[in-house]
Structure 1
């Protein structure tokens, strides 16, 4: 067939390339102390030559058969040299006659080849020659496999580590040869498909054989993936099941009539139903997993995959909208294939109570879930409770009598794992029994203990964050109180000044009139302060009003000009939208700071104007000024003050109140020259445009 010819060409070409490269690699980089190294090089070179001939000619060509004969003799000699390399002289004397016998039987192929080429061969003689040739190859393959088995089984442990890769390659070579010639002997012809893939098989065999000559071959190990192994076993089970069903269906072909067809159809339906019910079951999958891990792997757990799954479970905050406590249970349960679990967390008094459950909502847990004495033992010893042992009466540290009845009587409860953080028990996770029944072993205890410590750190971190959040709320409350104290301090200063002036001018009617106005303003300020307490730190922009910016500036200038020269240079009517009380309070802070920074006789200048988008209040002083670093890092930092006895929140509070109205506070300052504060509040018309609520008739010119 054309496809078989093309596939054969590609397969043998690949085999020639791989075998040739393997021979070259052993010759150049193989272990120098291996006495069988050059035997391996020669055998691989002869095999590459055979593959080259098979890719060029048909299977029955004399050149292909001759090169195959020489390659097989080369591999028999390699087997002999492996015995010599093992260093067992007595075994070598016993094996030598067997190896010579194998070489002699293989050499008889040369005689059969001469008969085919030199003499007229009848069909009967040709068939006899073909069967004899394949029978000799079967005998050689069987003998070589027996010797190879004796070589590996009888070798010392250190020799096995050296020989295992070479033995694996030779076992694959002769196992394929045995099957190939057995089928040819039974069918009377070479199997087309196996012949096409024979070169590829030789390439696969050459790789582990060459690895055996590496300088570190003794340390090379084959570590199959657990996932791949499990899926491969699953496919084997399914494949075996299908083969059995196919064999039964074929066997039923001996029946005749409509009953045979009915029986076959019924068998197919029954087989399909059984496959759908039994093969995907969790119990079967669990049995396959446990069996594979028990017999194929040194350790029960694939620690890399377990760590990846653990990190994925803990790190995904949105995993099925589960809380951290639920993800903690799931992360531990996934390790042992437990279907559900419970988390008991510690209270301040040390008692453990139910904190969360994962797929175990119907579990009834009493309020006092774990006695304090049992918690103390688990904390001190890091004890993981095997609840099956508890039910059997096995005791290690006196914990058996302390296990609560609800946990002892719940047969689904399998293990209780303590969560210990810095020698302190922060919780206990109770795991449900996995579907595949098994006992806890040392590897379970080691891994569950380590993972329990890691989970305890996550729970402790969350508790610390909650404590910080609570402390932050208290800090916010204290911050608000600091603002109140600052404002009360300003009002107290005004009242003290009023009392001092009252001692001198109490009899004057004009003073009494001004005093009443001042008292009324102070009362209003206190009421405004109380109303504003709930707005600190919230950025509220509620209750916006339209007011004249110049009126606020004029009122502040008039109030503060009695104690220091404050000039209102420009006073334009500017209608803005905001909170007049908050703006007046912020402007009082800024102007008062400007007065404090200025010398006596140095005026503070205030002006109001519009730039078309916002109303502006500019405050200028020629005081000591501030450095750029202070403006950038300290001016608006709360509770940092350069004034003795100051709270350090005036500038911060002023900026926050202006921002709450949608405004902005800009500062320019030079040391020794003075400071410029610029308050920018959106105009009424501009805010209407921004919010999209304004109309043409309510847009007044600024």
Structure 2
């Protein structure tokens, strides 16, 4: 190392020492209230030891003193130990019951930290007393210097995952600051261990990195006085921590092997070393994506570190999220299989649901299993056992001890299913809507009471989701039938009017068959009937909305056509048109609606009575009144039965026309008012929005202006 680099390292270490010293002063200035807890005192100790380590490092490089270098190494080990203790104190919950459980769970982590510190002290003593030659001591020291920040990162990662969401804001700056220091140290010492040299440029930057992270530590103290008041013990955090620890130890082991491969490999040493590094990373990737390895590790953590195998909050959130990820009946079945399979590390499964006849169960969905065309009768031994007992059937246990399942008989199709393991009933109340068959687990799992209770309860929740999906599907189907029936009723009503018109024409044809005017009118009537029937067919195909778009409709022309049609049928209708108005709508449908109201007025009035249509402007709307002097309607009929389908005063009527009329007028943004008295007649007033018809040219208006 040249003089210039050494000088820069001294300045860098001095900067880190100054930053840590200022941070120590700041922590001391917070007063006795802040320093009352173990966590705060441990942090103050860790910061003070970090300042001492940086100062001794700068002094050792500037004075080239061997004893100062040994003291700097001991200070480095002690500062790591203080940070270990601080992080472990943060991971212990505040209550005594939780603290005892946390210490039990993290006992291995504490033992690893203590062993790491003792190993570092032993290394320094071995150099001082000459127990190791300098080359061996350097290799072991680099290995130890790499292991210390790896262990610290494991603790930081566990803290970040274990803290509650509302306390995450408090510890985030602390985790970022410490992780920045230790990640840089991992890079520095892994590079030194791999290539048997320490990167001088990295040593120069090391002190600056430590100085840059101190503001984050200051921010962490400002955000929280009690750090993590809501720490919780999480199986997920423990699993990831153990995974990270194993990966770190694996990489350290492979790095040590790589060093010896290069040392004894001669000319091929570096090539062999690079090949070993690639193979190690590839092997770690294979292990990382292995579902069987993750399953074994998860079972190991749950079995040896926790009283219960499952973190029920995490399991329930994951299971509910899995079920809610699909809203289609086809996808929901597979999600039910996946959700139950993930609880027992099963890689495959199939779902059987009760068919529409309720006489058998058939395969409805499958995941990584072949299709099965068999069906299971609703009164078979398997289904009766599941329904009566509600048990989870363990087929491996059944093969060894069939007497535990009383008189259960496994069907042939299930016996021949490869890797069939568990049969989970899906119960809704006292009914079983189906069952799930899970394949053998990726790892050995003891199907005890906890697993049975979890699967049974999850099966009930999954059954509720499936029953709701089936009910929703049945409701949608019923609504489709209802819409089709409603549309069919409209079509039948219109066909009845067309048939009535054609029947009247046929009766008159016997008397006027030789009349040219009648023949011409008959052709027009047939053409009009054909066009209306064609529109009805289009309406049946395309839905309830009539074809075409709404446009301006001239109301005087429309009611004049209706008057002429009724006059041809022999019934006079009086017209009173005060204003020439227009509204927006579908002309054919609006003519059918008004024509139906006029026909109802004619049906309710005898030949000596009077039926009229009046049109005038009322405010910003067109008021179209259809009145008659017929028998009228009672207030109870108007209030409770009028404008409702299948309610009519006529013996052969269906009440569809009045219902359709009120619905369409409402669609146009209008209103329908009814004034009727028994024996005195009825007046129905349609209040329709106006549509302005322009007959003058804009160009002419501009010229006039």
TM-score interval, smaller chain = 0.5 to 0.7
Deviation at 1:355, TM superposition (A): 1.6
Which residue of structure 2 aligns with residue 37 of structure 1? none
Aligned mate of 1:458, from 454, 465, 480: 465
Q: Which residue of 2 aligns with 1:356?
A: 365
Residue 376 of structure 1 pairs with residue 384 of structure 2:
yes
CA gap of 1:185–1:472, structure 2 versus 1, over 3 A, is: same
Q: Does 1:392 align with 2:400?
A: yes
- CA offset digits 1:135-182 (Å, max 9, x no partner): 9x99xx9xxx9xxxxxxxxxxx989849969x9999999888767765
State the Cα distance separating 1:270 from its structure 2 match: 4.5
Change in 2 beyond 3 A, CA 1:377/1:618: same
In structure 1, C-alpha distance between the alignment counterparts of 2:238 and 2:451, rounded to whole Å = 21
- Match of 1:428? 435
**Equivalent runs, 1:492-511 vs 2, <5 Å:** none
TM-superposed deviation, 1:403:
0.9
2:226 is aligned with 1:226: no
Structure number with greater Rg is 1
In structure 2, C-alpha distance between the alignment counterparts of 1:583 and 1:134, rounded to whole Å? 96
Q: Find the counterpart in structure 1 of residue 544 from structure 2.
A: 538
- Which of residues 340, 348, 361 is equivalent to 2:348? 340
Q: Pick from 486, 492, 500 the counterpart of residue 479 of structure 1.
A: 486
CA distance, structure 1, for counterparts of residue 301 and residue 530 of structure 2: 78
Cα pair 2:593 2:660 within 8 Å, conserved: yes
Provide the secondary structure at the position in 2 that maps to 1:313: helix
1:587 and 2:594 are equivalent in the alignment: yes
Change (3 A) 1:343 1:221: same
Counterpart of 1:653 in structure 2 is: 660
Task: Provide closer, same or farther for how the CA distance between residues 158 and 304 of structure 1 changes in structure 2, counting only shifts above 3 A.
Answer: closer
* Aligned counterparts of 1:393 and 1:170: Cα–Cα separation in 2: 44
- Give how far 1:374 is off: 1.6
> Secondary structure of the equivalent of 2:399?
helix
Q: Confirm or deny: 8 A CA contact 2:363 2:373 kept in the other structure.
A: yes
Deviations 1:216-241 (A, max 9, x none): xxxx9964433333333222222222
Distance 1:44 1:427, change over 3 A: closer
- Is 1:24 the equivalent of 2:33? yes
Task: Indicate yes or no: 2:670 matched with 1:666.
Answer: yes
User: SS of 1:438's equivalent?
Assistant: coil
Alignment partner of 2:444 out of 426, 437, 450: 437
- Displacement, 1:247? 1.4
Asked if 1:467 corresponds to 2:474, the answer is: yes
Tell me the secondary structure at the aligned position of residue 256 of structure 2: helix
Confirm or deny: 8 A CA contact 2:421 2:439 kept in the other structure: yes
1:575 to 1:237, Cα distance in 2 relative to 1, 3 A: closer
Do the aligned residues in 2 keep the contact of 1:618 with 1:676 (CA within 8 Å)? Answer: yes
- Can you list the C-alpha shifts for 1:460-503, whole angstroms capped at 9, x where unaligned? 222223333343344345435644675688799999999xxx9x
1:304 equivalent in alignment to 2:313: yes
Aligned to 1:7: 16
- Three-state SS of the structure 2 residue aligned to 1:396 is helix
**Corresponding position of 1:417:** 424
Q: CA deviation at 1:521?
A: 11
* 2:412 equivalent to 1:408: no
Aligned CA distance change for structure 1 residues 256 and 421 (closer, same or farther; 3 Å):
closer
SS at match of 2:421: strand
SS at match of 2:441: coil
Alignment match, 2:685:
676
Cα 1:268–1:521 shift into 2, 3 Å: closer
How far apart are residue 364 of structure 1 and its match? 3.7
TM-score w.r.t. the length of structure 2 is: 0.59
Q: Name the CA shift for 1:56/1:252 in 2 (closer, same or farther; >3 Å).
A: closer
Is the Cα contact below 8 Å between 1:608 and 1:618 reproduced in 2? yes
> Offset of 1:388 from its aligned partner?
1.0
Deviations 1:41-97 (A, max 9, x none): 9x959x969967996998679xxxxxxxxxxxxxxxxxxxxxxxxxxxxxxxxxxxx
CA drift at 1:539: 2.0
- Alignment partner of 1:403: what SS? coil
Alignment of 1:633-652 (within 5 A): 638-639=645-646, 647-652=654-659
**Residue 447 of structure 1: how far off its partner (Å):** 1.2
Tell me the residue number matched to 2:700: none
**Aligned length in residues:** 559
1:314 pairs with 2:314: no
Name which of 338, 346, 368 aligns with 1:330: 338
2:442 match: secondary structure: coil
The farther-off stretch of 582-591 and 418-427 is 582-591
Q: Which residue of 1 aligns with 2:561?
A: 552
Match of 2:177 in 1: none
Equivalent residue of 1:298, what SS? coil
Over the residues paired in the alignment, what is the CA RMSD in angstroms? 6.5
Deviations 1:104-136 (A, max 9, x none): xxxxxxxxxxxxxxxxxxx99x969x99x989x
Cα displacement string for residues 276-312 of structure 1 (whole angstroms, at most 9, x for unaligned residues) = 5445433322222222222223322232332232233
> Helix, strand or coil for the counterpart of 2:351?
strand
What secondary structure, in the 3-state scheme, does the structure 2 residue paired with 1:342 have?
A: strand
Q: Is the 8 A contact 1:665 1:677 kept in 2?
A: no
**How far 1:634 moved relative to its partner?**
8.8
TM-score normalised per structure 1:
0.59
In 2 relative to 1, CA 431–658 (structure 1 residues): closer, same or farther, beyond 3 Å? Answer: same
Q: 1:248 offset after TM fit, Å?
A: 1.9
Instruction: Map 1:32-51 to 2 at 5 A.
Output: 44=41
Moved more, 476-485 or 677-686: 677-686
Q: CA deviation at 1:20?
A: 7.3
Q: State the match for 1:289 in structure 2.
A: 298
Quick one: distance in 1 between partners of 2:319 and 2:664?
48
Q: Decide whether the 8 Å contact of 2:602 with 2:628 is kept in 1.
A: no
